[in-house]
Chains A and B, each alone.
Chain A
Amino acid sequence: MNGPHDLGGQHGFGPVAPEPNEPVFHGDWEKRALGVTLACGAFGAWNIDESRHARENIPPATYLSASYYEIWIRALETLLQRHGFVSAAELAEGRMLEKGAEPKRILLADMVPMVLARGGPCDRPVEAAPRFAAGARVRTRNFNPATHTRLPRYARGKVGVVEAVQGSFVFADDNAHGRGENPQWLYTVVFDGAEIWGEGAAPGLTVSIDAWESYLEPV
Chain B
Amino acid sequence: MSHDHDHDDHHHHDNHFSLMEARVRALETILTQKGLIDPAAIDAIVETYETKVGPRNGARVVAKAWAEPDFAEWLKRDATAAIASLGYTGRQGEHMRAVFNDGETHNLVVCTLCSCYPWSVLGLPPVWYKAPAYRSRAVMDPRGVLAEFGVRLPEARKIRVWDSTAELRYLVVPERPAGTDGLDQEALADLVTRDSMIGTGLALIPEARS
Do A and B share a complex? yes
Interface on A for B, CB 8 Å cutoff?
A: 5-11, 13-19, 22, 24-29, 31-36, 38-40, 43, 52, 55, 64, 67-70, 73, 76-77, 80, 85-86, 90-91, 94-96, 99-100, 103, 106-109, 111-113, 115-123, 150-152, 154-155, 166-167, 169-170, 172, 186, 188, 190, 196-197, 202, 204-212
The 5 closest A-B pairs by CB, nearest first: A35-B42, A94-B26, A8-B112, A210-B166, A109-B40
Which residues from B are CB-within-8-Å of A14? 1, 133
Q: Is the CB of A10 within 8 A of B20?
A: no
Number of interface residues of B (CB under 8 A): 82
B92 → A minimal CB distance (Å)? 7
Check B48 for interface membership: any CB of A closer than 8 A. yes
8 Å CB contact of A152 from B28, B91, B112:
B112
Further 11 A-B residue pairs, CB within 8 A, beyond A10-B132, A107-B38: A8-B139, A13-B131, A19-B128, A55-B114, A73-B27, A106-B36, A155-B163, A170-B167, A186-B168, A197-B140, A205-B159
Q: How far is the CA of A167 from the CA of B16 in the complex (A)?
A: 43
Check B81 for interface membership: any CB of A closer than 8 A. no
Which residues from B are CB-within-8-Å of A13? 131-133, 136-137
Q: Is the CB of A209 within 8 A of B165?
A: yes
Check B162 for interface membership: any CB of A closer than 8 A. yes
Q: Is the CB of B143 within 8 A of A202?
A: yes
Q: Is the CB of A95 within 8 A of B29?
A: yes
Which residues from B are CB-within-8-Å of A208? 160-163
Q: How far is the CA of A77 from the CA of B110 in the complex (A)?
A: 27
A100-B50 in contact given A36-B28, A202-B142, A209-B163 (Cβ < 8 Å)? no
Check B145 for interface membership: any CB of A closer than 8 A. yes
For B22-60 the 0/1 string (1 means CB < 8 A from A) is 011111111101111110111111101110011000000
A120-B91 in contact given A9-B140, A90-B30 (Cβ < 8 Å)? yes
8 Å CB contact of B114 from A5, A19, A24, A95:
A5
